[in-house]
Amino acid sequence: MSKINPYWVESEWKSLLYQFSEKTIDESTTFQNKEFKENVDVFDRILNLTSLIGDYYSQGLLNYLNFSR
């Protein structure tokens, strides 16, 4: 995606998506191990992370649309 939009940085995308994958694995592991309190905590962190990913995505789009004229 960073090749499409100069306002996105490849390393930032990699970091965000790596964190998302890691948290998703953590969530499935805690659920499988019946660690339900920890599972809720991990799910909450996933929700926060998806907000960060959405903010980064939308800010990149806004910058691209505003400054690429």
Mean pLDDT of 29-40: 98
Domain that holds residue 20: 10-67
Q: Rounded to whole angstroms, how far apart are CA atoms 31 and 65?
A: 42
**pLDDT over 80 (residue 69):** no
3-class secondary structure, 3: coil
Domain total of the chain: 1
Q: Rounded to whole angstroms, how far apart are CA atoms 61 and 5?
A: 8
Helices (H) and strands (E) counted in the chain, each on its own, are 2, 0
pLDDT band for position 1 (cuts 50, 70, 90): confident
In a domain, 3, yes or no: no
Six-digit token pair at 23?
């948290």
pLDDT band for position 11 (cuts 50, 70, 90): very high
Mean per-residue pLDDT of the chain: 96
In a domain, 60, yes or no: yes
